[in-house]
Amino acid sequence: MALKQRDISVSEFFAKNRHLLGFDNPRKALLTTIKEAVDNSLDACEEAGILPDIEVRIEELVAPPSPTKPGRYRITITDNGPGIVRKQIENIFGRLLYGSKFHRLKMSRGQQGIGISAAGMYGLMTTGKPMVIHSKPHKGKPAHHIELAMDTSKNKPEVTVDVETDEFPATSSGTGTRVAIELEGRYVRGKTSVEAYLEQTAIANPHAEIVFIPPDKAFTAEDAESAEGDQGVFGSDSTASASASPALSAERSERPAVVRTTEHADRIVYPRAVAELPPETEEIRPHPYGVELGRFLQMLKNTEEKQLTGFFKNEFCRVPPAVVAEVTKSASSKAKTLTGGTYVSTVDHAAAERLYRALQDAKLRSPPTDCLAPMGVRTMLAGMLKGVKAEFYAASTRDPAVYRGNPFQIEAAIAFGGELAGDQPARVIRFANRVPLLYQQSACSAFKSVTETAWKNYGLSQPRGSAPVGPLVVMIHMASVWVPFTSESKEAIADYDEIRKEMKLALQECGRKLGSYVRRRQRMKRESEKRDVFERYIGEIAKSCEALTGTQAAQVYDALLKQAKRRTEIADAVLDEDGKIIAFADGNGRLDDDDGVIIVDPNGGPPPPAGGDAPAKAKPSADEPTTPAKKSKRPRAAAAPKQSPAATPGKKTPGKKKSSAPTTPTEPTKQPKPRMRLGADGTLFEVA
C-alpha cells in the first residue's frame, strides 16, 4: 500500500498516480471533483443536522478546442452546511489523507480523506490556479475567503489569500461553504455525466435540494467517447461498454430519467422530496474479525490502555472480559503466560501474533448494527418516484449483516413499466452510503448480483449472464461503516460473498413483488380480452336461443352478459403490492406508500396534490386495464364514501396471497406506515 508509506509525499504520489483517485481523464476529473465536493457537503450538512441545499455550478472558461481536447472549467459548489472554522481550512482542503473520516468506523460518504484535496491538487496541476474557498461557520459573522495552493513535495498547503468577506450567499442555515476549483476537464452528457451523477444523488438523497447550473455548451458523450482513447485501467469498462453501443447510450441520455425536476432557463433543480434528515449514525470501534494483523500490532502499540482487558474493551467492540480470558489463555505459551491483567507494553511480537490468531478463532458476537442508517424503504421509493417515471415501484431493506467484521446493510428498489423503454437491458444504479457509483459497473458486486438474480421468475426476460431486459430500473444501496471499494476512486463495490448474497436477497424481495404485479397485470389484461370475446358472441347466442326455444333474446343476453362480467371481474380489480385484489372498484385510486410498493396509474398520472382524495380519473384503455391506481389495504375515512358499491371486500379473490418476505424491520423512521403523496411539483410529502 504505497499510500501508507509516509516517507514518500502522498501529494507527489498522487501527482503521478492520479488515475487511482478517479482523475484519469479530463471528463472523469471534472465529475470526480464535483462528486467529492458534493459528498463532503452532504456529509457536513447531515452531521450538523441541516437539510442540505447544494448548488453546483460549472462555468466554461475555455471551450474544448475539439472533442478530444480538454477545456478549462471553473467548478463551484456551494452548500448551507456548518462551514469550516478558519484554522481547519488548510488541512481539509490542502492536505491529502487528512480527514476525520479515515480512522473511524462510521457510515459516511467520504471515507479516506483524499477526495476534495486531490481535486484541488488536480486543478492546481492542470491550471496553476489555487482553490478558492469561502467558509462561513458562524451566522451573522463575515465569511472567510481563502485561496489555497499546495506544495506537493511537502504535502503542505500554501495560503495565498486570506481575507474576511461579506460576500456569501444567504443560506437557509446562515452558514455554509463554497469551494471553487479551476481545472482542465471536459463536460459531456450521458451515462457517466455530471447530470447522471446529480440525478442519482437526488434519488439516494431525497432530503437534499440540489441546483445544477451547467455550462452553456457540452459535447455529447458519444462525441467524446468515440474520439477519446481510453486512458488507464480504471474507468475503462464504462467507457468500453458505452462506446460498444453508442446508440444505446445516446438513447439513454436523450431519454430523461429524471422527469420531476424543474428546469429553468439556466439551471436544473432537483427538489427536496422528504423533509427529514437521515438519522445520525454512531461511530463504532473495530470488530476483531475485520482487523488485520498489522493493524492489530499498531493498535497495540498506540493504545493508551495499560492492560489487555482494557485494550480489548476500549479499542474493539464485542470483546468482553470473558472472551479476553479465553483468548489470553489460548495465546499463552510456556515462556509467557498472558492474562487480562498483562501489561500491554510487555506483549512482544510473537505473543501479539498469538493473541491475534486466538482472537480470530474466538466466537465473537457480530458487531453492533445501530451504526447503520439505511435509506429505508420509504426514502428509496420517494427517491425512485422522484427520479424515474415508472408505473410500479418496490423497495426492500435487508437486515444488517457483517462482512469481515464490518456491519453493512443492503437495500434494493426497482421501478418498472411506465415510460421506461422495454427493449433494453435494465438500468442498474448503484449506491454506497448514498453516493452514486457511475463507473466500473461490471466489476461491481451490485451489478453482479443483478445478473445473478433469476429475473425470469418475475416475468422478465434475461439473457444468460446479463441484466434482465425490460422496462426496469434497479437500484442497490449498500450502507456500511466501511464500504469495500475495489479501488481508491470508489467506483465499484468489492465482491464479498456476504455482500453479494444480501444484495441478491434484497433483489429477490423486490422481484417477488414485481412478479406478482406483472402476473396479475397480465391476468387482468387477459381477462379483459376474454370479456371482449364473450360479449361478442353472447348476442349471437341469445338470438339463436330465441329462435330455438322462444325465450326472449334480450332476456338471455342480459343474463349472459351479467355472467360474463362476473367471470372476468378481475379485469376491473385493483391490486395491492402482492398482486392480491383488494377492491373491485373502478377509478378512485390514490397513491400510497405501503409495505414497500407504489403503483402509479400509468394513464392517469399522479393524483392531484393536497386536498387529496379527488379520484384519479380512470381512463380505461384496451391495453392497460390496471387503470385505477393502487388502493391501500387500510381503509381511509375520506376515501370510503367514494368507493363504488362493487368495492366490497367480500368478493372472492382468485389466487392466493403470495408469501412475501417481511420488509424493513429496521426502517429508520419510527412512524408506523407513513403515507406519501406526490405533489404537483413532483415532490413527495407526507399526509398527516
For 343, which DSSP code? B
If one counts every other C-beta atom within 10 angstroms of the C-beta of residue 93, the result is: 27
Q: Which is nearer to another protein, 654 or 662 (CB)?
A: 654
Stretch that binds another protein, among 40-48, 365-373, 388-396, 535-543 (CB under 8 A): 535-543
Q: Which is nearer to another protein, 255 or 543 (CB)?
A: 543
- Alpha-helix runs per DSSP H in 69-207: 86-94, 115-127, 194-204
End-to-end CA distance of the chain: 53
The answer to the question of residue 551 lying near another protein (CB under 8 A) is yes
If one counts every other C-beta atom within 10 angstroms of the C-beta of residue 341, the result is: 12
Q: Binding residue for another protein (CB under 8 A) from 335, 548, 610, 688?
A: 548
The answer to the question of residue 621 lying near another protein (CB under 8 A) is no
Stretch that binds another protein, among 179-187, 341-349, 424-432, 549-557 (CB under 8 A): 549-557
Give least dist CB 560 to another protein, A.
Answer: 5
Q: Binding residue for another protein (CB under 8 A) from 567, 619, 634, 673?
A: 567
Q: Binding residue for another protein (CB under 8 A) from 232, 368, 539, 674?
A: 539
Q: Binding residue for another protein (CB under 8 A) from 564, 585, 598, 629?
A: 564
C-alpha span between 328 and 317 (Å, rounded): 17
Give least dist CB 555 to another protein, A.
Answer: 7
Give least dist CB 558 to another protein, A.
Answer: 9
For 82, which DSSP code? -
C-alpha span between 571 and 537 (Å, rounded): 19
φ, ψ of residue 468 to 5 degrees: the values are -65, 155
The answer to the question of residue 62 lying near another protein (CB under 8 A) is no
C-alpha span between 132 and 358 (Å, rounded): 52
Question: Closest Cα to residue 387, out of 79, 602, 34, 683?
Answer: 683
Helix (H) or strand (E) holding 79: strand 71-79
Q: Which is nearer to another protein, 255 or 562 (CB)?
A: 562
Question: Closest Cα to residue 658, out of 567, 573, 576, 601?
Answer: 576
Q: Which is nearer to another protein, 233 or 646 (CB)?
A: 646
Which DSSP string do the residues of 593-661 spell out, in sequence order? Answer: -BTTEEE--TTT-SPPSTT--PPBPP--BTTB---SPP--SS--TTTGGGS-GGG-TTS---SPPPP-P
Q: Which is nearer to another protein, 346 or 563 (CB)?
A: 563
Give least dist CB 570 to another protein, A.
Answer: 13
Grid cell listed for 452: 445473478
φ, ψ of residue 683 to 5 degrees: the values are -90, 155
Grid cell listed for 659: 408469501
Q: Which is nearer to another protein, 622 or 637 (CB)?
A: 622
Q: Which is nearer to another protein, 546 or 613 (CB)?
A: 546
Give least dist CB 548 to another protein, A.
Answer: 3
If one counts every other C-beta atom within 10 angstroms of the C-beta of residue 670, the result is: 7
Beta strands in 471-540 (DSSP E): 472-480
Give least dist CB 530 to another protein, A.
Answer: 5
Stretch that binds another protein, among 60-68, 176-184, 547-555, 634-642 (CB under 8 A): 547-555
Of 502-531, binders to another protein (CB under 8 A) are 530
The answer to the question of residue 642 lying near another protein (CB under 8 A) is no
The answer to the question of residue 622 lying near another protein (CB under 8 A) is no
The answer to the question of residue 562 lying near another protein (CB under 8 A) is yes
What are the residues binding another protein (CB under 8 A)? 530, 533-534, 536-541, 543-545, 547-549, 551, 555-556, 559-560, 562-564, 567
